[in-house]
Amino acid sequence: MGNCWGTPAEQPTSVTPDHLTSGVISQTTSNTTSSGGSNISRNSLFSVSSGDEVFPNGQILQHPNLRIYTFSELKAATKNFKSDMVLGEGGFGKVYKGWLEEKPSTRSGSGSVIAVKKLNSESLQGVEEWQSEINFLGRLSHPNLVKLLGYCYEDTELLLVYEFMQKGSLENHLFGRGSAVQPLPMEIRIKIALGAARGLTFLHTSDKHVIYRDFKASNILLDGSYNAKLSDFGLAKLGPSASQSHVTTRVMGTYGYAAPEYVATGHLYVKSDVYGFGVVLAEMLTGQRALDLNRPSGKHNLVDWVKPYLADRRKLKTLMDSNLEGKYPSKTVFQVAQLALRCLAPEPKCRPSMKEVVETLERLEASSERANEPRARSSHPMAHRRGQAPLHHRSPLHQGQEKGRGSQLSPLGR
Ligand SMILES: Nc1ncnc2c1ncn2[C@@H]1O[C@H](COP(=O)(O)OP(=O)(O)OP(=O)(O)O)[C@@H](O)[C@H]1O
Ligand SMILES: [Mg+2]
């Protein structure tokens, strides 16, 4: 790891830490996005999305291309925000599944499934983030970024409407509870890592040089074919002043995944995202959360705990996610561990670029597919029809993984 050279892209971006207090990292950025058009008022309607143009390499739109929904429309779509429509809950409120009829009057049955994020209306904590999400995600378009379809702003109600991601978050799959959540085979984990890496590469190499800053398993959403899409951009980037209740998750997210230079100095690099990516790779290999206070002392922080194991093939084996039941190509897995180690280098300039990460993962995906071919043909419903077949017969997660989000009760916030 001795030789690594910095490039101009590795200069810290001009992020000024406002304050670094009691475990909450709050920032204001001055150059990661253009904020033109950020003043969203009820009357400033963006152009309604007209079509489904496909840009495989992504694009940045001049203006957010979003639809404006009425509150009653979203209320109807989510059956009055019924509790059994809840997909999950984050620091900013609940996310509901919804169904939108194309033309409500026709009752033709044609429509689309959506995910509706409803910000907690009793607090104002999410306003800036809501707006930032619109400005970022409304303009960034890439197959590995979740699609923001539109928003609603009525009285105190702020909502965001996204494409529905059928398989939920990577976090649910790695650490979720119950038989509904199936452990992911290694080749699907690599596919997900590759999709997420492509999303980050797009952000880093776009002319805006967007730094994602909140790379974590819960922000990697999966469609029905396990294609990964990054979500929640604006939210983590701003989030400074007001919020209290999302502090807990933010703290955990930050301290589990944040790069050491960012935590120590507030300096943010494109390579700070690469560190977060390394943490998620470590989670994918081990099935352990980035930060989990239920683990014995010395093992709370995943990176501190597993780094020595990643470098040693035999040690790595002892640490692999037991849900994989030993079914993985060990050479490929060791190479993933090597990649994770490079991403986790303490010095930002020693970490690979996301483009390099993508290239490495593409090679590993190919070799993992080759290694799995005989087994895939005979027994694995997902492996032989990558991107098509759902999981059918995996056993439920064992208790050891079901520590839930206990680790999210912040030690730092207390
Ligand atoms: N577009 C979507 N499609 C399907 N499920 C979604 C979608 N967006 C979010 N979810 C579900 O809702 C959950 C909560 O998402 P949310 O982004 O609000 O919080 P989080 O990422 O868990 O935490 P944080 O507030 O720290 O970002 C996700 O984990 C996911 O399971
Ligand atoms: Mg999220």
For atom 20 of ligand 1, the residue with the nearest CA is: 90
- The neighbour count for residue 129, using CB atoms within 10 Å, is 25
Amino acid at 405: R
For residue 162, CA distances in Å to 15, 55, 62 come to 28, 18, 20
The reply to whether 52 belongs to the active site is no
> What's the pLDDT tens digit per position in 3-13?
565 444 455 54
| pLDDT at residue number 402 | 33
Label the pairing between strands 15-21 and 24-29.
Answer: antiparallel
How far does the centroid of ligand 2 lie from the alpha carbon of residue 74, in Å?
A: 20
- Spatial distance between the Cα atoms of 151 and 161, rounded to a whole number of angstroms: 6
> What's the pLDDT tens digit per position in 144-162?
999 999 999 998 899 999 9
Q: Which of 256, 363, 370, 264 is nearest to 305 (CA)?
A: 256
* Predicted confidence (pLDDT) at residue 345 exceeds the cutoff of 80: yes
Amino acid at 154: E
- The neighbour count for residue 176, using CB atoms within 10 Å, is 19
- The neighbour count for residue 102, using CB atoms within 10 Å, is 10
Q: What is the pTM of this model?
A: 0.78
Task: Sketch out the chain's domains with CATH numbers.
Answer: 8-163 (3.30.200.20), 168-399 (1.10.510.10)
For atom 11 of ligand 1, the residue with the nearest CA is: 88
Query: Is the distance from CB of 320 to CB of 354 less than 8 angstroms?
Result: no
For ligand 1, mutation pick of 148, 149, 213, 218 (most atoms within 8 Å of CB): 218
Mean pLDDT in residue range 73-92: 94
Query: Is the distance from CB of 368 to CB of 334 less than 8 angstroms?
Result: no
For atom 24 of ligand 1, the residue with the nearest CA is: 90
Query: Is the distance from CB of 162 to CB of 117 less than 8 angstroms?
Result: yes
| Residue 111, H or E segment | strand 111-119
For ligand 1, mutation pick of 167, 169, 408 (most atoms within 8 Å of CB): 169
